[in-house]
Amino acid sequence: MKLETERLILRPPSEEDAEAIAAVANDWRVARMTLVPHPYTPADALVWVERARTSWKTHRFGGFAVFTKCDGRFIGATGLRPTDLPEEASTGFWFSPAVWGRGYATEALLEVLRFGFGERGLVRIEAYHLAINPASGRVMEKAGMGHPRAVELPDRDDGHSVPGFVRHLSAGEWHALAT
């Protein structure tokens, strides 16, 4: 499985990607704005690779490692995760600070939504972001994900919760935007 956009290649992560994934995910600037564990090691990346592989086998969707087309460099991650409701999924993303502000997150998210609704027939996709990360909310808005609702998200470190937002997009809304 491989998805392509104008500037990106999205494909399921592999063991060979673990070092590159860990190098980006271990950056505190990434961890601070997400729920990605910190520190993040190649062993953590291998756990994500295996989780993604299992999801792909079970649900026909899962995690994507994101690479630039121009030089094949790993720059981030996105994907779809199943929720408790059939035909629904959750998405998210994180990218290297070296590429922040260049539209890669929006480009990748739009492709994940197209894949989820257009190829996998999902009826609803939701996404979460931390309140301290409004830039992720803007990416979601650009991709058509509205309906922001304040929620408490589990903190990565201490089991408490942190303020965040959930947004969603329905298949009907996506189809209306896509035409």
What digits encode the pLDDT tens for the residues 30-81?
A: 999 998 889 999 999 999 999 999 999 999 999 999 999 999 999 999 999 9
Q: Do residues 3 and 64 lie in contact, with contact meaning Cβ atoms separated by under 8 Å?
A: yes
**Domain ranges for the chain:** 3-178
Residue tagged 């990748």 (tokens): 108
Give me the CATH topology for the region 3-178: Aminopeptidase (3.40.630)
Residue with structure tokens 């994907």? 79
Written as six digits, the tokens of 145 are 């994900």
Q: What is the pLDDT of residue 160?
A: 84
- Dihedral of alpha carbons 104, 109, 112, 114, sign: negative
